[in-house]
Amino acid sequence: MIDVAQLAGVSPQTVSRAINRPETVRPAIRDLITAAIEQLGYRRNLSARALVTNQTRNLGLVDSGSSIPGHASMLMAIENAAREQDYAVTVALVAKPGPDAISAAFTHLMDRGVQGIIVLANTTDLAEASRRVPTDVPVVIVAGGMAPRTELRVVGVRQEEGAQMATRHLIDQGYTSIAHLAGPPRWLDAGLRDQGWRSALALAGLTSTVLGQGDWSARSGHSIGIEQANSQLPEAVFIANDQMALGFMLALHERGVRIPHDVAIVGFDDLAGSGYFYPPLTTVRQPFSQVGHTAIDVLLRALSGAPPESHSVSPELIVRESSIRIEG
């Protein structure tokens, strides 16, 4: 900072204000300082700043390490939202989310000076274990269908509502036989999407049939699709995520089943490329960016002393060709 000040012909205090409170420095002076910074390659020493301010501007994120696209999209959204607020994110992966593993992950993060922790709680085990771990920093759990507790904040997408929208759309198209290809057991999102599908059918007086439970992968969707293509297919299928829908649709194509003429398909997530499936996939769009920003906002408010709060974000139905009823 002294070198920058000397090159720009100003005081070190002026350089500090230009970096941390630029609105207090005249534009012409800021331009001189910016030019000096670029010439010298100056970078702020965040470790030194943390010692002075007692704020590391580092947040922790506990994650299962799942590779499914929807989960990865949520992780990226949180990291981007944190960076926009000038916070770094340190990730602790928990492959087997038992109480001991979660406690170790929290300790690992707090030893590195994180000011708060976000948990991507995709499974029941991870969510419940995170509730029970004592911590000296605020915690936000990103999960659907969870109520906040005194020491925790909860942010999530209304998964059940999204499944209801998907199912009602198929009902509105005139389909009366609407089956479900579910996600893996103990995954919170899978259970909520199953509940939403069932409740929409029950409200319409229709019966529910589960074709099988996949593991979120296109491979599992394809395997179940091959099995179902050799039997009596329903009129429509609500599939718990887009990856499984991709595999299921391929299996039907391989067996000569036309979509949507013979079977209508609706997925969930609206992952990149869903509009380029054949045919383009009707799906439920998860607002990953909005959830990421909300989780960071809730955590930063908690750092300022705000009480626990819960936020539930609505998804959006994206209608494409795969679910539109075609007669004949």
List pLDDT tens digits, range 161-204.
Answer: 999 999 999 999 999 999 999 999 889 999 999 999 999 999 99
Average pLDDT over the chain, rounded to whole?
88
Degrees to nearest 5, angle at CA 270 with 91 and 263: 135
pLDDT in the model for residue 39: 82
Domain range list for the chain = 2-44, 57-158+287-315, 159-286+318-323
**Residue 205 confidence class, pLDDT cut points 50, 70, 90:** very high
**Residue 61 confidence class, pLDDT cut points 50, 70, 90:** very high
What is the CATH superfamily name and number for domain 2-44? lambda repressor-like DNA-binding domains (1.10.260.40)
- Separation of alpha carbons 59 and 298, rounded Å: 13
Summarised one tens digit per residue, pLDDT across range 66-101 is 777 787 888 899 999 999 998 999 999 887 777 788
User: Domain 159-286+318-323 carries which CATH code?
Assistant: 3.40.50.2300
**pLDDT over 80 (residue 216):** yes
**pLDDT over 60 (residue 317):** yes
Which run of H or E residues covers position 154?
Answer: strand 152-157
pLDDT in the model for residue 300: 93
Contact predicate 152/139, CB 8 Å:
yes
Percent over 90 (pLDDT), the chain: 55
Q: Name residue 6's amino acid.
A: Q
Once rounded to an integer, what is the mean pLDDT over residues 240-264?
96
- Separation of alpha carbons 117 and 127, rounded Å: 13
pLDDT in the model for residue 53: 46
Percent over 70 (pLDDT), the chain: 93
| Fold matches, 57-158+287-315 and 159-286+318-323 | yes
- Separation of alpha carbons 146 and 119, rounded Å: 13
Q: State the DSSP code for 282.
A: B
Give the pair of three-digit tokens for residue 197: 């599908």
Which run of H or E residues covers position 142?
Answer: strand 139-142
Of the CA atoms within 13 Å of residue 110, those in its CB half-sphere come to 13
Contact predicate 200/163, CB 8 Å:
yes
Fold of 57-158+287-315: Rossmann fold (3.40.50)
Length of the chain: 328
**pLDDT over 50 (residue 51):** no
Contact predicate 60/118, CB 8 Å:
yes
Question: What's phi and psi for 134, nearest 5 deg?
Answer: -70, 145
What distances in angstroms separate CA 50 from CA 44, 113, 115, 152, one per listed residue? 11, 10, 11, 26
Burial of 8 (0-12, 13-18, 19+ CB in 10 A): buried
- Of 56, 6, 327, 325, which Cα lies nearest the Cα of 174? 325
Once rounded to an integer, what is the mean pLDDT over residues 214-243?
95
**pLDDT over 70 (residue 148):** no
Q: Which of 11 and 45 is assigned the larger pLDDT? A: 11
Q: What sections of 207-287 are H helices per DSSP?
A: 218-229, 242-254
- Separation of alpha carbons 310 and 157, rounded Å: 11
Sheet hosting strand 58-63, strand order edge to edge: 88-93, 58-63, 117-120, 139-142, 152-157, 310-313
- Separation of alpha carbons 196 and 256, rounded Å: 30
- Of 139, 60, 147, which Cα lies nearest the Cα of 105? 60
Once rounded to an integer, what is the mean pLDDT over residues 3-23?
83
